[in-house]
Each structure stands twice: as C-alpha cells, then as structure tokens.
Structure 1
C-alpha cells in the first residue's frame, strides 16, 4: 500500500510499504479522508519524530471505512464508516510518531474496541467532514476548559479551524454571544457563517472598545473598572497581542483557555493582574473529547463543513501539504482517498 512519510528535513514522499494484515481481534480501515494539521508542517520541517526520524508516517486526522473485521470484534462491521482515535493506537500515536499514519491507504487497529479506538458515523456525512473529528476534539477540549455556562458571553481569538470549531462548540453549549477576532476578512466572514454573533478585525478595530460595545461594562471590582463584561476568552491564535489584550481587558472572574501554540515566551505582570482573579487554563489534545465531539459533528455536519476550505485527491498530497503550510493560502486542507 501507499504511505505518505517524512523522509528528511523538509522532505516528504509517497512510498510503498507492506499492507497490514488483520488478526481476529483487529479491524482494518481503508482511509477515505485525512486532514492536514499545522503540526504536520512542523514534523516535515524537522525531518520527522524520533525514533522514526526520516521515516515518519503523516496524518492524524483520519476517517475511513472498515474493510475487514476479525471474528472477535464486536460492535463494528465491514462497510462501517468510522472516525479514529489517533491517541489510542497500540503502536504509537497515528501520524504523530507512531508506526502508522492517517495518510496511509490502510490503517490497522489492533484489539479494536468500538468507543475506544473508533466509532461509526452515518454514511450521509462526507468523509472530508468526518475527518474534522480529531481537530474538533481539540477545539472541544479548549471549550471544556472554559467550563462555559448557558447565557455567558465569549470571545475567540483566531478564526482558523480550531477557533471556528470552538465558536461552534460555545454556541452549542448555550453561550449567548460569541465574538470571533481575526485579521483576515474571509475568515471573519466564515466565522459569521458558522454561527458567531459578531466579529472583530483587530487590524482595524480596538478589540477592548468593541467588546465594551457588544457585551457592555462589567461591574467595578477592587478598582477595576471600564472592563468589558466578556466572561470567557479563548486563544486559538498564538500571538502575543492576544494575551496582552486579554490581560488588559479581563473583567473580574473571567476565564481564559489557551489552545494555541505560543512559540515565544510572553511576559505576564501578575501584580497588576491579581485583582482580576483571572483563571488561565491551558488546553492540549483531547483527554476525553475525541468521541464526545462526534455527536455534534454528525448532527451539525453542514455547519462544520464550512471549516473545510480545500479538498484535494491523494494523487495531489504533496500539493496539499504545501498548501496547508503556506500562510494565508488555505484554511483547512483535507486529502481524500478513493
């Protein structure tokens, strides 16, 4: 079968590898779609992930169809459309240093258990949308770290796939008003399409002033006044200006969830921040959310489908990787396999 691998620093190739063979407790999945993540670009740049340096299979956002199920497997059958939990694979994280990648033609799930390693999705959900399950689980974990309550107000910084997924998740949890902040007009337009109540172009507008207009002013507390009443902040952008804005504008008792990867240290003045009693929660991966999000994804698949900007066939996987790695060229790239 074919497998897309990192072959060296900055290099990838589609190579032939032995096709896996399913045992009595295993499931063999033919991958039908796999999203490209920003971390894939990082793996390519450094030449892979030890111990598979120079030979790292890529792709950790897969969806596919079961083509073989062992006699001991229950709750799963040949022909089922499925999404996978990359973290649960027994031979390492799929596409992130493990022995298999979601950009393989076939992926073997050893000791397959429904609800642990993979779950089924209805056939009417397109594979390229089902492949959003993994990144939307990341977004859902970031939302869960905020502990949102119905009727609250929120702002999401960054209208990439994770930010858009977080905006959808906040609205589905009953958050009354969700604002999305970005600097790219088409991303802001997409945020409104997926359900954001308002958007802010931070390259042209004062974020704090606009939040005051949209959410009103929070009650004075320990001398803190003139702050927006916004209760929830979510950083899916990963730029210092976001953290600086949140720290300067946070009302008393606000919560901040950081899911973005910050590549440089940021200075925080905890002295001036003390009276805000701001709760800062970091969000990494999806400890419980990988299949929690599937129900939302299935029920609202047409809304989630808006997140996908480019769908390319497997024969153009190199172009797909380049497109995803080029800033501003695409929002979410998904590769489809026959």
Structure 2
C-alpha cells in the first residue's frame, strides 16, 4: 500500500509499505478521505515526532470503509463506513508520532470497538464530510468548555474550519444567537451559510460598536461593554484576546481554542474587575464521537467548511496549498 510520511524537516514522501495484517480483535479500514490539519504543517517543518522522527506517518482526520473484521470483533461489519479516533491508543497516536497515519491507503484499528476507536456512519454521508469528524470534535469541546446556556449570546473570532465548526457546535448545544467576526468577507459569507445569526467584518467595521448594536450594552464597571456572554477565540491573533477582554461585560467567558505561538499580554485588571472567566480548550476528551450524530444530521452544512478536495495522487499540491496562509480553509485529501 501507499503511505505518506515525513522524511526530514520540510520534506514528505509517499512510500510503499506493507498492508497491515488484521488480528482477531482488529479492523482494517480502507481510507477514503483524510483532512489536513495545521499540526501537519508543524510536523513536516520539524521532520516528524519521536519515536518516528524522520519516518513519521502523516494524517489524523480520517474516514473510510471497513474491508476486514477480526473474528472477535462485534458491532462492525465489512462495508461499514467509519470515522476514526486517532487518539484511542495513547502510546501510538495515529498521525501524531505513531506508527500509522491517516494519509495511507489502509489503517489498522487495533482492539477495535465501536464508539471507542471508530464509529459507523451512514453510507449516504460523503467520505470527505465524514473526515471532518475529528476537527469538529475539537470545535465541540471548545464550545462545551465555555458552558453555554440556551439564552447565551456568543461571539466567535475566526471563521476558519474550527470557528465554523464552533457555530455548528454551539447550535447543537441549543445556543440561540451566534455572531462570527473575521477580516475576510468570503469567510463571513460562509459563516452565515453555516448558520451564524450575524457577522462582523472587523477590517471594515468598528467591532465594538457593531457588537453592542447586535447584542446590546452589557453591565460592567465601566460603560461601552457588549452584552455578549461568551467569546471564543478560534483565530489565534493576539488582538483577539485584547479586544475580547476590553469589551467583555461582567461575568462573561473567554474561551481559547486557537493556537497562539507566542505569549499574549493579558489585562488582568479587567479580568478581575469584571469577574471574567478564561478557559482553554484542547482536543476532545469525550467529544470525538459525541459530534458524529450532529455531523450526520447536518452534513450539508458541515460540507460548507471544506474549501478544497485533492486526490491522494496530488498530495504534494495539497500540502503546498495548506502551507500557504490564506490560500485555503479546509483541505480534504480523497482516495478512490
């Protein structure tokens, strides 16, 4: 079979590898789609992670079709379409330093149990949409960390894949009003199509005035605050943190799911005086398959998050596109 690996800093290759052998407790999946994550660019830049530095299989946002089922496996049959939990085996994480990656023709799920290492999805769901399950679990966990209520007013910074996924996640949790802010008009148009109630182009509008106009004025020690309950940073820009804290009303929550590569100054006086809650979010401790039902029910909206699909034969083109900031939003590599 073919497998994409990181071979050196800044270099990837598609190599021949042995097709995994299926044991009695295992399931073999033919991968049909795999998303490219921002972390993949990091792994490529540094030459992969130990213990497979210099030969690390790539890809962890995978979906595919079951082609072999071990004799002791129950609840899974040949032909099932499945999404994968790459984190299910802590010492051998798929596409994150483990011995396997989702950008391969086949993937072995050891000790396979439905709802643990993989989950079945209806075959009417396109594989490229099913491959969104893993990043959408990241978005759902971020929304859960913010502890929303049905009447919460939410502002999401960033209309990239996680920001758009957060729109759908907050909606699935019953939130009634969601605003998205970004500086790219096309992304904001997509946010509205996904289901945001309003958008703010912070490159063209006064962000604070526009947010107050949408959500109303909020109670705080000083005037000029918005009545927004939850702010979620899915942009990773230092100005987002500064802006959210400056406009937040008393008791508001600021969640951070975006990766900030450098320390960000924080106004702790405002956090203290307005009793703000600051929460971080990483991964999906319980959400990897909790998101699956909503993905299946609303797959047409999730499909809007995908900006490009690229055939596995043109993987270099996909990785080059992913490495160019602003050139693409969500890239899915497909395998026929």
Normalising by structure 1, report the TM-score.
Answer: 0.98
Among 297, 315, 318, the residue aligned to 1:317: 315
Separation (CA, whole Å) in 2 of partners of 1:110 and 1:315:
27
User: In structure 2, what is the Cα distance between the partners aligned to 1:314 and 1:193?
Assistant: 29
Against the structure 1 CA distance between its residues 248 and 90, is the aligned structure 2 distance closer, same or farther, given a 3 Å change threshold?
closer
C-alpha deviations, 1:156-181, integer Å up to 9, x for none? 00100000000111122222211111
1:251 match? 249
8 Å Cα contact 1:10/1:46 also seen in 2: yes
Unaligned stretches of 5+ in structure 2?
none
SS at match of 2:87: helix
Aligned to 2:214: 214
Structure 1: unaligned runs, 5 residues or longer: none
- State the TM-score, normalized to the length of structure 2: 0.98
Using a 3 Å threshold, how does the CA distance of structure 1 residues 157 and 308 change in structure 2: closer, same or farther? same
> C-alpha displacement at 1:89, in angstroms?
3.1
Please name the residue that 1:4 is paired with. 4
Per-residue deviation, residues 131-156 of structure 1 (Å, max 9, x unmatched): 00000000000000011111211000
Aligned residues: 336
> What is the DSSP-based 3-state SS (H/G/I as helix, E as strand, rest coil) of the residue aligned with 2:54?
coil
Q: Report the RMSD for the aligned CA atoms in angstroms.
A: 1.0
Name whichever of 178-187 and 167-176 sits farther off: 167-176
Structure-2 change in CA distance of 1:90 and 1:80 (3 Å): farther
- Deviation at 1:269? 2.5
Shift of 1:90: 6.3
SS at match of 2:291: helix
Report matched runs for 1:84-103 at 5 Å.
84-89=84-89, 92-103=92-103
Q: Which residue of 2 aligns with 1:196?
A: 196
Find 1:262's aligned residue among 260, 277, 282: 260
Q: What is the CA–CA distance in structure 2 between the aligned matches of 1:34 and 1:273, rounded to whole Å?
A: 40
How do 1:222-241 residues align onto structure 2 when only pairs under 5 Å count?
Answer: 223-241=221-239
The 5 A counterparts of 1:59-74 are 59-74=59-74
Q: Is the 8 A contact 2:271 2:277 kept in 1?
A: no
Contact 1:91 / 1:99 at 8 angstroms: preserved in 2? no
Report if aligned partners of 2:242, 2:267 keep a CA contact under 8 Å in 1.
no
